Structure 1
Amino acid sequence: MSVSHPMHPRITLAAAALGFVVVLLDVSVVNVALDALRTSFSTDIAGLQWVVNAYTLIFAALLLMAGALGDRFGARDVFITGFALFTLASLGCGLAPTLATLIAARLAQGIGAALLVPNSLSLLAQAFPDKEQRNRAVGWWGAAGGTALAAGPVVGGFLVMHFGWRSIFLINIPVGLVGLTLILRYSATSPRNEGRSLDLPGQATAIIALASLATALTDAAHLGWTHSHVLVALLMTVVSAIGFILIEARSRAPMLPLSFFSNSSFSVASITGVIVNFAYYGLIFVFSLFFQLEQHLSPQETGMAFLPMTVVLMVANIIASRLITSLGARPLMVFGLLLAATGYLLLLPVSVSGSYWQLVVPMLMAASGIALIVPTITNVTLSSIEPSRAGIASGVLNTARQVGGMLGVATCGYFVRDTTPAAFMHGMHLSLIVAVVLLFLGAALSLFS
């Protein structure tokens, strides 16, 4: 039996932050290992897409359910389960003998990540009942995640360069063991709400819809859009998506309350979340391939190439939270979307033989714009829904963002499926154009909604 120590909120914060850190590290760290994975498993772009998207897919699909599980079975126990599963899955990734095994382990990591994120916040709410202290704790939690996101490419590049790609997964094991030890020894038992219902039919149809869509987008790259496998996957996407909406509309305790979308501010924030992550994660995937396959940079050099972009993300996130109060959410969203779109637009002249330094300013502009948007749409989401439902609303936004990231990697990966220089650059330019168009549309939507 584990002993609970309710008098150690700061240690609970440290454990919760470690859980968030490993989740965000594994969002960003894999990109610098793409070439090493391609060589190790003799795979193509579609295989690399699955390594990235298997994690994001299940993470997105289970986020809403994971919060409900925490309510029903206790946030502490679900957090511990998620951390243990994530740590074991990381070991599976690090030891994976085949690409299929690695993808399966990445799926398991995604399940663990989904259990970790919402329940880490629940633990903070429990450990810091005072609102001011809780806000400060959530700030530290977010700063730890931002630091992990910024450090991910650099740390990953160093590990891949000196210890091989397996080390980027194995490094999670000591972190996981420390986090589990802290939470088991120093956190209080969480209350349980046995009456909290679980929307299992909604969850099942959501997973089928997202998995089918990811399969269709990925398989189309090498089978073509008219292949029977792709057409069946698209049909399953449509049928399961319709089924999901019907289930949520009729459920007494829906996983995704459709009534939220009657609020235009909430709807715009959710759509913006999809667009922003589509652009950011889709183009991070493309530029990771560009640096490694086309410009032949080492994993460590690739990580350093992303450093200015990830650092400005962290700094601008902090600035944005202060600007919301003085400028208002709508102007900040519009400005952030336009800034990101302009940054990506200025990357269109990029070429294989071009200098890295020509990319720095546009990349900083794009990252700054995105960093201004993310805390702003979070603020809009929480402000547009009554406080008692803030947890579900936040979960919906985070799910929308993860779905956007998955679609970005799948779509942009399709564009750059041919890695010969001329074809790859054509696909890279297409990816940039799509991202720019979506960001401009998002700006117009935010301005006129």
Structure 2
Amino acid sequence: MNTASPTLTVAAATPPRPRSAHRWWALAVLALAQFLVVLDASIVNIALPTVGTALGLDTAALAWVVTAYVLPFGGLLLLGGRLADRFGHRRVFLVGVAGFVAASLAAGLSVDGTMLLAARAVQGAFAALLAPASLALLTQLFPDGAARGKALGVWGAVAGMGSAAGVLLGGVLTASFGWPAVFFVNLPVGILVLVSIPFLVTRDRATSKERMDAAGAVTATLGLAAAVAALSEGGALGWTSPVVLGLGALAVALLAAFVLVERRASHPLLPFTFFRNRDALAGNIVMLLVGGSTVALFFALSVYLQEVVHLDALAAGLSQLPLALALIGIAGVVPAIVTKAGLRATLGGALVVLGAGVAWLALAGGSGFVAGFLLPSIVIGLGLGATFVTATQLAVRGVSESESGLASGLVNTAQQIGGALGLAILGGIAAAQTSALLAAGSDAAAATSGGFFLLFLGVALLAIAGAAVTALVRSR
């Protein structure tokens, strides 16, 4: 492990950290809130056919039930992190949770597609406040040492588990209580978080007194939103569609303007000197790749289990329980491994395990449920859980307290943008291969299986690329 000190360090005179008499209980509540945010990106997937029937939505409109959440979430995360630094992490966190709960209630009560899409957009916007503020609170409650490693281990496991649990809970809730339950499940958990945090985190001060970079916030938010929209719609409308090309051109123009604004701003939203911290740079690149891997993987698994293995929605959700359990189990072991092997070595090994598990899944088609799905899914859970823990820890290592919200926002932004990019590219490859096999005379199940073979191999390659980044982008 490279032990050289990162460029960004905590200043000698830092603002007082949030006090908590029970910081481990605070961690549990913060992780629970993050679980909801990640869960809501995937829990709706299995419920979509039922939603379409109930609200009269066609396939294109159903895709927007997911996109309407991802767009504001991915686009506003960077701004959300900076708002947390400016106005206080606990304050922004509570505002985010309250808005998220209210929007979840509206989504569950929706009587038509317009109401549901609007509620999903509001959910995403408040999630963009909640997510970076909660991770920033964690890094301040656990400033360094073994305790921080354990805390980030819990955090990373919860973030990974949310994606896996979304498919499981989506199937169970939809089958048992109907589609509104996938939104109503947020209410009791969100209310618990709102009631608990003021007692568990008893002091909160803004760590930055700088003026907000309004021009940077507007260009970054709209640029990222346009990029996510182009990536999300590319597969549905075609990459040469005027709408997709227009959104892509708008994204490039806005993000180029953002770079120019940040270079000239006296108090930039994203100071590019931040990336002199090679740990933060490597952690965010890895999270970008892992985000692409995870979203594409769980989307594919949901369809694969129902269309190729021929499980119903409930069974498809339950079949991913071993993966989720493996992910949870490894989280308690990773801090000890990091202590012995080092953070980067553990992250690189976790990515290799993740890639090997997905490659096994791709190559074991037709081997039966146990050898062809159950065993490789457990390996995937182990690799994914360890990767989320260590990538998050690397991305915030050595970051000053005044930039903890920025660092947290960047981690979440990398994960969301990576997810949109990975699903768009790998999903497009899988769809093209499936269409080619159907045209060649293959039956539907074989064609779908052939498409997902390429998708799973792509996910494995993204994991191996993350391991290469971990090895090559070294700390200063």
TM-score range, shorter chain: 0.7 to 0.9
Tell which deviates more after alignment, 334-343 or 277-286: 334-343
Equivalent in the alignment of 1:191: 205
Q: TM-score, normalised by structure 2?
A: 0.81
Instruction: Kindly indicate whether residue 381 of structure 2 is the aligned counterpart of residue 355 of structure 1.
Output: no
Check conservation: 1:15, 1:180, Cα contact below 8 A: no
Q: 2:462 aligns with which of 427, 438, 445?
A: 438
Instruction: Kindly indicate whether residue 448 of structure 2 is the aligned counterpart of residue 424 of structure 1.
Output: yes
Q: TM-score, normalised by structure 1?
A: 0.85
Equivalent in the alignment of 1:273: 287
Structure 1 position 378, deviation (Å): 2.6
2:45 is paired with a residue of what secondary structure?
helix
CA distance, structure 2, for counterparts of residue 444 and residue 122 of structure 1: 28
Tell which deviates more after alignment, 112-121 or 356-365: 112-121
Equivalent in the alignment of 2:13: none
Structure 1 position 57, deviation (Å): 3.3
Instruction: Kindly indicate whether residue 395 of structure 2 is the aligned counterpart of residue 381 of structure 1.
Output: yes
1:225 is paired with a residue of what secondary structure?
coil
Letter in 2 for 1:289: V
Equivalent in the alignment of 2:41: 27
When you count helix as a share of all residues, which structure comes out higher? 1
Taking the TM superposition and a 5 Å limit, the aligned residue runs for 1:96-115 are 96-115=110-129
Check conservation: 1:93, 1:106, Cα contact below 8 A: yes
Given the superposition, is the C-alpha separation of residues 201 and 292 from structure 1 closer, same or farther in structure 2, using an over 3 Å criterion? farther
Taking the TM superposition and a 5 Å limit, the aligned residue runs for 1:181-220 are 181-183=195-197, 188=202, 190-192=204-206, 195-220=209-234
CA distance, structure 2, for counterparts of residue 344 and residue 336 of structure 1: 12
User: What do you get for the CA RMSD once the two structures are aligned?
Assistant: 3.4
CA distance, structure 2, for counterparts of residue 129 and residue 307 of structure 1: 33
Q: 2:352 aligns with which of 331, 338, 344?
A: 338
Instruction: Kindly indicate whether residue 255 of structure 2 is the aligned counterpart of residue 231 of structure 1.
Output: no
Structure 1 position 370, deviation (Å): 2.3
2:212 is paired with a residue of what secondary structure?
coil
Q: 2:339 aligns with which of 325, 329, 352?
A: 325
Check conservation: 1:12, 1:123, Cα contact below 8 A: no
Structure 1 position 218, deviation (Å): 3.3
1:87 is paired with a residue of what secondary structure?
helix
Given the superposition, is the C-alpha separation of residues 29 and 223 from structure 1 closer, same or farther in structure 2, using an over 3 Å criterion? closer
Q: 2:254 aligns with which of 230, 240, 243?
A: 240
Structure 1 position 384, deviation (Å): 4.7
Structure 1 position 169, deviation (Å): 0.4
Check conservation: 2:160, 2:388, Cα contact below 8 A: no
Give deviations 1:97-116, integer Å, cap 9, x for gaps: 34443333222112222222
Letter in 2 for 1:346: W
Structure 1 position 134, deviation (Å): 7.7
Tell which deviates more after alignment, 34-43 or 356-365: 34-43
Tell which deviates more after alignment, 295-304 or 274-283: 295-304
* Percent of paired sites with the same residue: 35
The count of residues paired between Structure 1 and Structure 2 equals 444
Check conservation: 1:416, 1:423, Cα contact below 8 A: no
Letter in 2 for 1:175: V
Check conservation: 2:136, 2:405, Cα contact below 8 A: no
CA distance, structure 2, for counterparts of residue 408 and residue 259 of structure 1: 28
Structure 1 position 72, deviation (Å): 3.1
Structure 1 position 344, deviation (Å): 1.3
Check conservation: 1:283, 1:408, Cα contact below 8 A: no
Structure 1 position 309, deviation (Å): 1.2
Tell which deviates more after alignment, 265-274 or 113-122: 113-122
Equivalent in the alignment of 2:176: 162
Given the superposition, is the C-alpha separation of residues 84 and 303 from structure 1 closer, same or farther in structure 2, using an over 3 Å criterion? same
1:31 is paired with a residue of what secondary structure?
coil
Structure 1 position 386, deviation (Å): 4.7
Check conservation: 1:38, 1:44, Cα contact below 8 A: yes
Structure 1 position 130, deviation (Å): 11
Given the superposition, is the C-alpha separation of residues 124 and 208 from structure 1 closer, same or farther in structure 2, using an over 3 Å criterion? closer
Structure 1 position 8, deviation (Å): 6.4
Equivalent in the alignment of 2:8: none
Structure 1 position 276, deviation (Å): 1.0
Letter in 2 for 1:113: A
1:29 is paired with a residue of what secondary structure?
coil
Structure 1 position 44, deviation (Å): 6.3
Structure 1 position 374, deviation (Å): 2.2
2:240 is paired with a residue of what secondary structure?
coil
Check conservation: 1:62, 1:114, Cα contact below 8 A: yes
Give deviations 1:62-81, integer Å, cap 9, x for gaps: 22322332333333332232
Check conservation: 2:84, 2:405, Cα contact below 8 A: no
CA distance, structure 2, for counterparts of residue 133 and residue 295 of structure 1: 43
1:397 is paired with a residue of what secondary structure?
helix
Letter in 2 for 1:59: F
Equivalent in the alignment of 1:3: none
CA distance, structure 2, for counterparts of residue 128 and residue 328 of structure 1: 19
CA distance, structure 2, for counterparts of residue 361 and residue 328 of structure 1: 28
CA distance, structure 2, for counterparts of residue 139 and residue 334 of structure 1: 16
Check conservation: 2:156, 2:390, Cα contact below 8 A: no
Letter in 1 for 2:109: L
CA distance, structure 1, for counterparts of residue 159 and residue 388 of structure 2: 13
Query: Which 5+ residue runs of structure 1 have no aligned equivalent?
Result: 1-5
Equivalent in the alignment of 2:438: none
Instruction: Kindly indicate whether residue 195 of structure 2 is the aligned counterpart of residue 171 of structure 1.
Output: no
Equivalent in the alignment of 2:270: 256
Give deviations 1:176-223, integer Å, cap 9, x for gaps: 233333346776363346833223322222232233223323333343
CA distance, structure 1, for counterparts of residue 48 and residue 367 of structure 2: 22
Equivalent in the alignment of 1:93: 107
